[in-house]
Amino acid sequence: MAITSLSAHANATFDAAELRIDLSIPQVLMARTARGTVDPAQWDSGIATAFASYTLDLLSEPEVDTRSLHSALRYTGGFNSGLWHWRYQGMLSASMRKPLEHVPSRWFIERPLPDAGMMLDLGTVHPANTLLGTVPLLGATIRNDDRMLPDSLRGYAPPIRGIATHRSTVIIRQHGSVVHKATVPAGPFVIDDLYPTGNRGDLNVEVVDTPRDVQRFSVLSTTSPHMVRPGTARFALPNRRAACFVSSSPQRDGLASLIGCPSLHLPRTRMEQLINPIQPACLTQPTPSIGRRVLCGDDAYG
């Protein structure tokens, strides 16, 4: 097969004096490795260890002829063994008018799957997809994790595409500073391992063949938190339910179901946030006129 069948820009040159064949193949057709890539076989799972951490909050507020005192101790315990990581979180709260109370928050086990570039989550875990908010879910999930990617592929950066007429140097600048520089053979090229550029301005690209032969163009560099690079995706495959508590209490016109999630509390004051970390997110209440109504946020508190 002739090398020119790969691309019109590919060619082979034979040097009889050196007994050497020089091949020129467009960069876009070559296998590329992103900067900072580390072979998963060289990853270290770490040592077996246990740990605990805590945060203590104290709140004192003036009242009539006295002062109130509220305290909350939030803690996290964990154990790592190989690729398995176990975590448990909870809170102890007390006040002058309320006895000591323990509120379990969540527990979960996670295990990276390096060969697949994914994570396995078991237990109560917040979704990795920011589009779904922070509703905790109980069950199992397989998802991808940007932390398994090299730094040059995390976040979003636009790909730089162009065509070099000869062996050229590609220089990419942002606000006058060089963010990347590479040498490419003649033909189409793509640079898709730029570090995240954010919204700091457009990228100015120069393709330098000779000092007098320079191609210049700009690439828009505007991002949002949910943008991903071309050819990639963020996903999570869950098999779980919402990790909420459900209770019922009698109402004047029937039964009202109270559904609350620890991460969806909407306290009206800082004191309520400290002493009542679990608040109802929504209250579904039957009414004679409209059948059922859903109260959310401050409306659920009356």
The reported pLDDT for the residue numbered 271 is 38
The reported pLDDT for the residue numbered 80 is 95
Portion of the chain with pLDDT greater than 70, in percent: 75
Tokens of 238: 């869950």
Which residues 6+ apart lie within 8 Å of 195 measured at CB? 151, 152, 155, 157, 179
Between 54 and 176, the more confident residue is: 54
Cα dihedral: 191, 196, 200, 201 (round 10)? 20
Q: What is the DSSP string of 101-153?
A: EEEEEEEEEEEEETTTTEEEEEEEE--S-GGGTT--EEEEEEEE-GGGS-GGG
The reported pLDDT for the residue numbered 133 is 54
Closest to 93 measured CA to CA, from 262, 279, 273? 273
Give 266-273 contacts, CB < 8 A, sequence gap 24+.
266/297, 266/298, 266/300, 266/301, 268/298, 268/301, 270/59, 271/59, 271/61, 271/68, 271/70
| Separation between Cα atoms, residue 201 and residue 59, nearest integer Å | 45
Phi then psi dihedrals of residue 211, to 5 deg:
-55, -25
The reported pLDDT for the residue numbered 162 is 92
Tokens of 11: 């060619």
Q: What is the mean pLDDT of residues 263-285?
A: 39
* DSSP 8-state class, residue 273: H
Give 13-16 contacts, CB < 8 A, sequence gap 24+.
none
Is residue 179 within 8 Å of residue 158, measured between CB atoms? no
pLDDT tens string 200-232:
788 999 999 877 889 999 998 888 777 888 888
